[in-house]
Amino acid sequence: MASNKKYWKSEAELSPNDSIVEALKQNEFPEEIPVDEFLGDKQQLASAQTSRRDFLKYVGFSTAAASLAACEGPVHKSIPYVFQPERIIPGVANYYATTIADGFDFASILVKTRESRPIKIERNKEARVMGGTNARIQASVLSLYDSTRMQGPTAKGEPVEWDALDAGVKSKLAGLRGTGRQIALLTQTYASPSAKRLISRFAEAYENVTHVVYDAVSDDAALNAFEARYGERALADYDLSKAELIVSFGADFLGDWQGGGYDSGYSKGRVPQNGKMSRHVQFEANMSLTGANADQRIPLTPARQKVALAHLYARLNGSAAGGELPEKATRALEAVVSQIGKAPGKAVVLCGLDDPDAQAVVLAINEMLGSQAFDVAAPRYVRQGNARKLSQLVADMNAGKVGALIMDGVNPAYSLPNAGEFIEGLSKVDISVAFSTNQNETTQHTTFAGAANHYLESWGDAEFKKGHYSLMQPVIRELFDTRQFQQCLLNWMDAETTYYDFIRETWGESILGGAEWSQALHDGVYTSAAPEADPKMPAGPADKETGSASEAAGQVSVAAAVRRLAGAADAGMSLVMYPKVGMGDGRQAGNPWLQEFPDPITRVSWDNYITISKKDASDLGLVNTHVANGGMDGSYVDLDVNGVTLNRVPVIIQPGQAEGTVGLSFGYGRAVGMKKEMQTGVNAFPLYQDFNAIQSVALKKADGMHEFACVQLHKTLMGRGDIIKETTLEDFNTLEAAEWNPVPQVSLDHQEVPATTVDLWDSFDRSIGHHFNMSIDLNACTGCGACVIACSAENNVPVVGKEEIRRSRDMHWLRIDRYYSSEETFEADNLKKDGFSGAFESKSGFEEMEDPAANPQVAFQPVMCQHCNHAPCETVCPVAATVHSRQGHNHMAYNRCVGTRYCANNCPYKVRRFNWFLYSDNDEFDFHMNNDLGKMVLNPDVNVRSRGVMEKCSWCIQMTQKAILDAKREGREVRDEEFQTACSNACSSGAIVFGDVNNPESEVARLKESERMYHLLEHVGTKPNVFYHVKVRNTNEA
């Protein structure tokens, strides 16, 4: 049955009389060009100094000057290499496999280099573990070219030579020998076998060395629980492709939960195959990316989530647990339990609560179920932070027990909740060195700031998961006088070796086991051939003999944990802090791509904010309003968490936010070592007490309104209606496709006929050669946004800044629309309405129905140029700057465009972007395209557009052209997987597939035959070459 749900992007759209929504529907460019400002005022015009004669003189002179200047062409220099490196051919890209392991993001990646400049990050498709990329990893290449990077080491802010730094540190370290004071290493998580070995060697060379690992956004509770149960400080790994039921308690596993990277496995199970797909139930407070993808999402406060988890354990265990739950949650739990009962091994439970009890119970449940998706034999090492050791270190520092503090990849002065204490302690340390690519809050207080290499300039390795290794190699020589931390440690140990040799040694001794180093380096990944241990009996302290005893002890403690969980209660309002999809823990806050990346859920860029439910907002008198140009304003609140206050935090009213909770993201509010424009938002870390993301908070409304750069009301489809199609798994399995995926009907000769059969135009014959199509599966798309950044990187999409985004002038060629819809269909409401008895019931019942925003369903839809075969933009261009190709591309010739913007007006999908300004070489746009360093990231195969021209998705024609040319040169046919675009390449969940439909063997041709296939706004008759797959929700309960 076709879904007749109503979709909306902003709550404002639910109000029938919102004039701004109406205006935005009618007007793509809501802001008038301010002609009146300078021509409207007759009086001012008359009294102006410039007479008409003068004006004509200026015009004449400038025209003449411009034409004279044009007569003489500029002289271009071409400077070849003196000695050309063997592997570099100008104009041909080289790819290197490397690894990002910056302490927050871990992945095996490929780096595309042109003339030895890294310009693009790609997935390493050969990696079996963590080979996907997210928005931050995609954007990390731009951080390499950050013009605010440290260009050499500094001492108290003054530039210093490395030799001086080395000498200073070495003499100090030597002086600490025998004093009994600590040498402390405070580092990020490396998950690196070589770094681990190096640090132990360093500890041998000097006495009293302590190594504290610190994750800004900590998984300490989960690590402790795992360590207690399995004897190793690691995290359980989950293969979600093997799960038929995923139950998550506050775990944002499509975001950054426990290191992230779960989206590809998840998406595999989400595409209906043979009538089956996984079912995902999410209990959470904030509307997270994961909750947005869930089949059923129950908004609960953190305490209630704990209770629900206790209930689940009890039900599975056959016992009972106390604690009250809302009816909806109980029903959901019942359904979950009954489905688990059918296939316990196919279910998995995940938990993102920073609570050791909750984490212990989840491990117990998964073990009890014998979940196939649950892997503790080869656990993950990507989070190692130890909160206890860290607080010990801060205490030791303040007690004067620490002689030297060496930091790498951490910024505790920014990200520690007790940063003040830390800074005070730092002053009692004799010598402190912080390694960082940029100056930051911590380097301001240290003796030395070590200018560190970017990871693309470094050697390294990582063991993401037991037995799964990845190698990091430099793809460019250090741009500045920088050094990586590991090399400095080696220097300070007087080891006459490079870190590269050290890694080779480590690998040769303990990892490779006879395999080729160069092969491992080439692949970037290496999986040790060690036999997999019995997955349910991991190595740990629990030996065979004592197994039963410790198991019994474990059960006792789990039972206690369940009791504690069941007794959990909220104390007032709960604050749930989370890392934002675009910003993570804030280490890349200086990256303009990430700042401009709209959050997948709120669609807000350049900010963090409090998310609050509608009810709580109205109780506190907080509002979101829209202004005429489509921008959004929000109230401010003051926060108070156990006496720590945060003032004037802007508020977003978030549909689906659990009542009694508010959300706030980490990573913002940084101010040191970055450009003015990037210093956005507020710092949530001071509220992150005891490394617990859940805090009790008091809110108070503050004065004023905050101006957001929110794109959710931009680019509306002018009232053309819904472009999302969705159905339920049950309908999908039982009904004909025409029921749940109907082709729109249009009237032809007063007869209703399918829109696809009517054609106003003569169609061009595209049967010869390539004909490109793109498939986007709404079931597989998680909305992560990696494609958005990949597109910006590949196509030199400019960053426009907060002000311009607010004016609806964002330049992203690819946007991911987020639609809300009410959970129940209107038919359910109708039934309910008809069933009302009595005035009182009907009043409360209607009020219930009136709030569709309480817990909406969410759908993500990536929209780029649809490359219509009958493109409306082409017919209105007065200069034929946009025309069609026989390969299916809708071409845009920038040099031909005169900027009338007719095409954008006529585009039903609103995918065209206008260059309102010159964004490159313009200091008004102080991002990356105005300096030589930042410009190094530009793709030399794609134009940098100038002011006044229209641009849009080109389907990465430079990539298809290259694939074709490679085939021609080698005299062979193009292989299907060679046709890619930046977005399809970046998509680790397989939602975006690109290819040639004239090749019947291609993946995209197969997908086009799917029953779920539909085109956007089919009734308009544009015949797009991009097609979508109907979203199927597994609402079948049990």
Residues that bind other proteins (CB under 8 A): 67, 70-71, 73, 75-84, 89-92, 765, 767-769, 881, 883, 885-887, 889, 891-896, 941-944, 954, 957-958, 961, 964-965, 967-969, 971-974
First to last CA, the chain: 21
- The answer to whether 730 and 839 are in contact (CB under 8 A) is no
Return d(Cα 856, Cα 193) in angstroms, integer. 45
For other proteins, give the closer residue by CB, 244 or 941.
Answer: 941
Reference 649, options 600, 590, 588, 700; nearest CA is 700
Contacting residues for 240 by C-beta, under 8 A, at least 6 apart = 246, 253, 262, 265, 266, 268, 269, 278, 348, 373
For other proteins, give the closer residue by CB, 34 or 80.
Answer: 80
Work out how close the CB of 964 gets to other proteins at its nearest, in angstroms, rounded to a whole number.
8
Reference 150, options 141, 142, 140, 160; nearest CA is 160
Please state, in angstroms and as integers, the Cα–Cα distance from residue 372 to each residue in 280, 343, 344, 383, 424, following that order.
Answer: 16, 11, 9, 23, 49
Q: How many Cα atoms are found within 13 Å in the side-chain-facing hemisphere of 624?
A: 29
Work out how close the CB of 95 gets to other proteins at its nearest, in angstroms, rounded to a whole number.
15
- The answer to whether 287 and 279 are in contact (CB under 8 A) is no
Return d(Cα 639, Cα 651) in angstroms, integer. 11
For other proteins, give the closer residue by CB, 724 or 950.
Answer: 950
For other proteins, give the closer residue by CB, 578 or 772.
Answer: 772
- The answer to whether 182 and 401 are in contact (CB under 8 A) is yes
Work out how close the CB of 1029 gets to other proteins at its nearest, in angstroms, rounded to a whole number.
27
Return d(Cα 182, Cα 303) in angstroms, integer. 40
Work out how close the CB of 803 gets to other proteins at its nearest, in angstroms, rounded to a whole number.
28
Work out how close the CB of 92 gets to other proteins at its nearest, in angstroms, rounded to a whole number.
5
Return d(Cα 912, Cα 29) in angstroms, integer. 12
For other proteins, give the closer residue by CB, 854 or 956.
Answer: 956
The dihedral over CA atoms of 32, 37, 43, 49, expressed in degrees to the nearest 10, equals -140
Return d(Cα 313, Cα 324) in angstroms, integer. 15
Work out how close the CB of 809 gets to other proteins at its nearest, in angstroms, rounded to a whole number.
22
Return d(Cα 906, Cα 213) in angstroms, integer. 56
For other proteins, give the closer residue by CB, 68 or 529.
Answer: 68
Q: How many Cα atoms are found within 13 Å in the side-chain-facing hemisphere of 946?
A: 7
For other proteins, give the closer residue by CB, 615 or 891.
Answer: 891
For other proteins, give the closer residue by CB, 537 or 893.
Answer: 893
For other proteins, give the closer residue by CB, 602 or 866.
Answer: 866
Q: How many degrees, rounded to 5, is the angle at CA 96 between CA 95 and CA 102? A: 125
- The answer to whether 462 and 384 are in contact (CB under 8 A) is no
Work out how close the CB of 9 gets to other proteins at its nearest, in angstroms, rounded to a whole number.
31
Tokens in use for 420? Answer: 């003040």
Return d(Cα 323, Cα 303) in angstroms, integer. 10
Work out how close the CB of 982 gets to other proteins at its nearest, in angstroms, rounded to a whole number.
13
- The answer to whether 221 and 251 are in contact (CB under 8 A) is no
Work out how close the CB of 201 gets to other proteins at its nearest, in angstroms, rounded to a whole number.
35
Tokens in use for 306? Answer: 């704990």
For other proteins, give the closer residue by CB, 196 or 962.
Answer: 962
Return d(Cα 661, Cα 286) in angstroms, integer. 8
Work out how close the CB of 875 gets to other proteins at its nearest, in angstroms, rounded to a whole number.
16
854 backbone dihedrals φ, ψ, rounded to 5°: -65, -50
For other proteins, give the closer residue by CB, 573 or 1026.
Answer: 1026
Reference 818, options 724, 953, 708; nearest CA is 724
Reference 415, options 610, 672, 182; nearest CA is 672
Return d(Cα 466, Cα 528) in angstroms, integer. 9
For other proteins, give the closer residue by CB, 66 or 760.
Answer: 66
For residue 241, with 0-12 CB atoms within 10 Å meaning exposed, 13-18 middle and 19 or more buried, which class applies?
Answer: middle
71: Cα separation from own chain's centroid: 49
Work out how close the CB of 729 gets to other proteins at its nearest, in angstroms, rounded to a whole number.
41
Work out how close the CB of 70 gets to other proteins at its nearest, in angstroms, rounded to a whole number.
6
Work out how close the CB of 900 gets to other proteins at its nearest, in angstroms, rounded to a whole number.
17
Return d(Cα 454, Cα 452) in angstroms, integer. 7
Work out how close the CB of 944 gets to other proteins at its nearest, in angstroms, rounded to a whole number.
7
Work out how close the CB of 946 gets to other proteins at its nearest, in angstroms, rounded to a whole number.
9
Report helix, strand or coil for 652.
Answer: strand
For other proteins, give the closer residue by CB, 701 or 896.
Answer: 896
Total residue length of the chain: 1038
- The answer to whether 230 and 380 are in contact (CB under 8 A) is no
For other proteins, give the closer residue by CB, 566 or 793.
Answer: 793
For other proteins, give the closer residue by CB, 80 or 514.
Answer: 80
For other proteins, give the closer residue by CB, 28 or 794.
Answer: 794
Please write down the HEC assignment for all residues of 955-987.
CCHHHHHHHHHHHHHHCCCCCHHHCCCHHHHHC
Reference 1011, options 273, 295, 278, 294; nearest CA is 273
Report helix, strand or coil for 496.
Answer: coil
Work out how close the CB of 905 gets to other proteins at its nearest, in angstroms, rounded to a whole number.
21
For other proteins, give the closer residue by CB, 803 or 1001.
Answer: 1001
For other proteins, give the closer residue by CB, 254 or 929.
Answer: 929
Work out how close the CB of 876 gets to other proteins at its nearest, in angstroms, rounded to a whole number.
16
Work out how close the CB of 229 gets to other proteins at its nearest, in angstroms, rounded to a whole number.
56
